[in-house]
Amino acid sequence: MKAFSAVSTETDSFEAGREVTRQVMKQVVDRPGMLWVFADIGYDQQQLLEGISSVAAGIPLIGCTTDGEISSSGLSEKSVVVLALTADTTQFHTAVTTSLSEDSYLAGVKIGEAFQHVNPRYLQIFSDGLTGNAMKIVEGIHSVLGKDVIIAGGTSGDRGFFSQTNQYHNGAVYTDSVVAVGITGDLSFSTGIGCGWFPVGTPKCVTKSEDNVVYELDGQPALQVYEKFLGKYASQLPAVGVEYPLGLLEPGEEEDEDYFLCRATMGVDRKANSIIFAGDVPQGAQVKMTMGNEDDVIGAARKAAEDAVTDWKKKYPDISPKVIFIYSCMARKIVLGSRIGEEIAEIRQIAGYEVPLIGFYTYGEYAPAGRQKQSCFLNETVTLTLLG
């Protein structure tokens, strides 16, 4: 297995795609089995893919628009990053399904069915970050492939405009869709996650919710509870909600545990006094308001890398990873501000500077989490996969 990632900040869409793909194709030498592409929403998306295809015609491709691109060069913005991966004994299978907002669970079922014949152990998915219910996608995939399949990836972004995101599958540009790649064959992988947000205040009970819409917390209108917590920042909902998500407590979870399953706000319904979250918030769940700071967020990235590396060394003591995938929440970028480079630097220091890197800042993440380490949808989280 051999991988290489590159970045282009060329402003012409076609030339950006052609330039960055030339860089990676030159380095991997052999014809790649797969390309990952993450790009800024400002490009002409179809022209960008045509530029890539002019150099790498016929090579399977998957990716999406972002809130910031990550490559071996670190974080870049208003750019396109590409990873080329070649492997003699590993196979790549891709799929796409549309109309995510109509039925997210069915979209997940269709993705699962597309891979049912190959039964992959590891799946990466990229879904629209502004439509649908991401947790329902995971549930749909699990209903077909079972809960043991590892699902990683993220939801696409649009540089914080919250208007429209795009997903890529081979030479086509989509929106309101899910794209996926399943990897089979001779494959080694390990994962790690980190959050860094911490709970504040007393636990609250979700007394009325439906899927990802919360109507009441402790019997009070959810929007009013949130606005009271946010104070002067309440007028900035729903955007500010990515910085102050709900933290879901697992049954029996202690308050000092260092990871909370977070749910960021996607929208508000002022008429119903409700909040729409990026993933399901079950009725009856115990939740806490949360917030993050720079040191804790960077520390969580360090822990994610340490966990992924420790797991790798335990399972594969005689081989080294060949590529690192990073999918990190846009909220982390906001909190870290000028220190954003430290998150990637911490990961590289622990996982290795020589290992190629690819990823992006997301509107939500997919990864194994919780005590059971089952794949789910996350917010405010940095997720890592080491692959070899």
pLDDT-derived band at 251 (thresholds 50, 70, 90) equals low
Percent of the chain scoring above 90 in pLDDT: 79
Other beta carbons within 10 angstroms of residue 44's beta carbon come to: 15
User: Do you find a cis peptide bond into 203, omega within 30 degrees of 0?
Assistant: no
**DSSP code per residue over 201-269:** EEEEEEEEEETTEEEEETTEEHHHHHHHHHGGGGGGTTGGGGTS-EEEEPTT--TT-S--EEE-EEEEE
> Which residue would you say has higher pLDDT here, 111 or 247?
111
178 and 312 housed in the same domain = yes
Name the pairing type of β-strands 189-194 and 150-155: unpaired
**Domain check: are 239 and 188 in the same one?**
no
Same domain, 41 and 147: yes
205 and 185 housed in the same domain: no
Q: Which residue has the higher pLDDT, 126 or 290?
A: 126
Q: What is the mean pLDDT of residues 41-49?
A: 98
- Quick count: other Cβ atoms within 10 Å of Cβ 370? 15
Asked if 211 and 359 sit in the same domain, the reply is no
Residue 191 has, within 13 A of its CA and on its CB side, a CA count of 23
Q: What is the pLDDT of residue 292?
A: 86
Q: Are residues 18 and 116 in the same domain?
A: yes
> Does residue 85 contact residue 189 with C-beta atoms inside 8 Å?
no
Same-domain check for residues 249 and 327: no
207, 156: one domain: no
| Alpha carbon distance 276, 223 (integer Å) | 10
Domain extent, residue 227, equals 198-291
Angstrom distance (rounded) from CA 157 to CA 77:
12
CA–CA separation, 264 and 280 (whole Å):
10
Pair (117, 24) in one structural domain: yes
CB 259 within 8 A of CB 365: no
* 148 and 26 inside one domain: yes
Q: Chain-wide mean pLDDT for the chain?
A: 93
Mean pLDDT of 172-185: 97
Residues 255 and 355 in one domain: no
Question: In the chain, how many domains are there?
Answer: 2
